[in-house]
Structure 1
C-alpha cells in the first residue's frame, strides 16, 4: 500500500512539473546580446510583470503565462540604457511568436499567434489611415499660421473635429462587425471609453455570448452599468 501511495505521489509530481502553461510567447530579437525582457499585462488598472528573462548572448527565448481568456499583453525590452520599449499584442491560449530586431524593436515586430491579433492589426491599419489624414491636417494648420491665415485655422479646427468623429464612428462600426472577437470590447474600453453611452451600449449588445463571458466582455458590461448608475443619480 505504501509503495502504491509513493508511486501515485511521484506520478502526480511528474504531471504537475510537466503541466503546460496556457500561453507561450516565443520571441527572437535580432541583434540583442544583453538586456532583460518582460512579459506584462494590466490587472486591476496596474501594469504587472508576468514573466521575465535575462538575455546574455541568446536572442531567442520563451516567456509564459496563465490565461483564462484572450487578452492584451506587453513585451517590454530593457536594454540597460534607461529606456523601455514595448510591443503590444493580443494573445490567446497556445503559442504566440514574436520576431523583431534590436534596432527597431517596435516597428519591426512580426507577430504570429491568435486570431484576435489579426483583428487588432486590421484595426490598427484602419486607424493609421485616419492618423495620416490628421498629420496632413496639422501640417496645413502650421502652414496657415505661418502665413497668418486665420480663416484656414478655423477651418482646421472643423476638419480636426470631423476626424475625431470619424475615428469614433469607424471604431464603433469595426467593433460591431467583429462582435465575435474579444478585440471588440477591448477597443470600446481603450479607444472610445469616453464616447456616448449609446455607442458603448450598441457594441455591448452586439457581442456574442463567448465574447460577453471574456475578460473584456465582462469589463465592458460593468463599465456601462457604472456609467448608467452615475447618470441615474
Structure 2
C-alpha cells in the first residue's frame, strides 16, 4: 500500500509479439445484474453488458498475457493465451477471489487465489476505509499500518507458493508482481527459486533484466554516464557534475508523489548547494510546457534534463526506473552512495557525508 500511495508506477505489459490466435472467457458473477464488464489485455480494452451476471468475451491474443476484468471500481486478474477456453466464476462482493480455470497457469492461479482469499476479505474493508480517509484528507496512518500487516501475510503466502511451485508460470508472475518494486536482494532471492518453464518465461526474462540493472545501480557502483538535453535544448552530461555530491532525481510533473517529495529535495538543495551538493532532475514528462511549469511552481532551481519520452526516457530505461520518484545520490567521484532517500533521509545522509559542512 505504501508503494501505491507514494509512487507512480509504470504499467509494464507481459506480452510478446507473435501470430494472433483466438481465446474466450465465459463466466458468471454472483450479485451482478445487467452491468457493464470491462476486460483489458495487452493494449485492448473490451466491454459488454452482462445478462444476469453472465458474460462471454472473445478476442485475439499474440501470446500469454495478463488480463484484467473490472466491474465498477473492482477488478481481478487472470491470464489469457492462444486458443484458451476459460471459465470464470466469482461474486461481485469478492471479485478478487474469483476462480478461472481452463489452462494450467489459470488453474495454478486459482490455487494461489484460494490460499489468500481470507486475507483478501480482511484487507477489503480496511482498504476502503483507508482510501476514504485519504480522499477526505483525514488521518489514515492506522489503516495504512493494518493494510501493510495484511500485505505482509499475503507476501508470505506468495513466497510459499513460489518455493513449492518453482516451475509454475504463476510463480514467475508472482515474483514479477510482488517483488519487482521491492528490495533488490529480495527480488534476486525469489528469482533464484524459479525453474523450468517459469525460468524461461517472459516474466522471468523481464525479471532478469531488472536484476541486471539493479546490479549496475547498486550502492558502491559507479553511476552510468548519460547525456540529455536541458530545458534550453543544450546537452548536459552527468560527468560534467563531477566534484560535487549529485542527486540524480527521476520525477515528472504529472506524478503526485513526486510533487509531494519536491519540497524535501528543495530543502536539501538550499541547505547544501553552496557546500558541494547539487541536483540533476531527469523528467519523465511527455510535453515540455507542463514540465517547465512544474519546475517553476515547485521552485526547482537546479539543472533539469529530459527527452520527453515518458516511461521510455532513455536515461530512465538505462537506470531501470519503473516507479517514481526515484533517486541516486552520487559522491564527487560519481559513485552511488544512496538510493531513494525520501523525506528527511536525504538531508540526514548529506549531513553524514559532509559533517564539516552540516547546516546548524
Corresponding residue number in structure 1 for 2:204:
217
Higher mean C-alpha displacement, 121-130 vs 199-208: 121-130
Question: TM-score, normalised on structure 2?
Answer: 0.41
Q: How does 1:1-233 map to 2 (within 5 A)?
A: 21-29=21-29, 32-33=33-34, 35-41=35-41, 48-55=43-50, 59-69=54-64, 71-77=65-71, 83-93=72-82, 94-100=84-90, 104=93, 106=95, 109-128=98-117, 168-231=155-218, 232=221, 233=223
The whole-number CA distance in structure 2 between the counterparts of 1:65 and 1:200 is 33
Counterpart contact for 2:24–2:56, Cα < 8 Å: no
Q: TM-score, normalised by structure 1?
A: 0.58
Measure how far apart 1:161 and its partner are. 8.7
How far off is 1:40 after superposition? 0.7
**After alignment, is 110-119 or 58-67 more displaced?**
58-67
Structure 1 CA distance, aligned partners of 2:51 and 2:150?
Answer: 46
Task: Output one character per residue of 1:12-68: Cα deviation in whole Å (capped at 9) or x when no partner.
Answer: xxxxxxx993421123346533x4322113x5xxxx434333457894423323041
Structure 1 residue matching 2:166: 3-state secondary structure: coil
Alpha-carbon separation, structure 1, partners of 2:75 and 2:122:
25
Contact 2:20 2:61 in 1 (8 A): no
- In structure 1, stretches of 5+ residues that fail to align are 1-18, 78-82, 136-156
Q: Give, in whole Å, the separation in 2 of the partners of 1:121 and 1:99.
A: 10
Mapped contact 2:100–2:110 kept (Cα < 8 A):
no
Q: Could you say if the C-alpha distance between residues 113 and 202 of structure 1 is closer, same or farther in structure 2, counting changes exceeding 3 Å?
A: same
Q: Contact between 2:172 and 2:201, CA under 8 Å: does it hold in 1?
A: no
Residues 217 and 20 (structure 1 numbering): CA distance in 2 closer, same or farther, change over 3 Å?
A: closer
- Take 2:148 and 2:38, find their aligned partners in 1: how far apart are those partners? 38
Structure 2: where are the runs of 5+ without partners?
A: 1-18, 125-144, 224-360
Q: Is the partner of 2:63 in helix, strand or coil?
A: coil
Q: How far apart, CA to CA, are the structure 2 residues paired with 1:61 and 1:166?
A: 34
The residue number in structure 2 matching 1:3 is: none
Which residue is equivalent to 2:286?
Answer: none
User: When the two structures are aligned, how many residues end up with a matched partner?
Assistant: 184
CA distance in 1 between counterparts of 2:52 and 2:109 reads 32
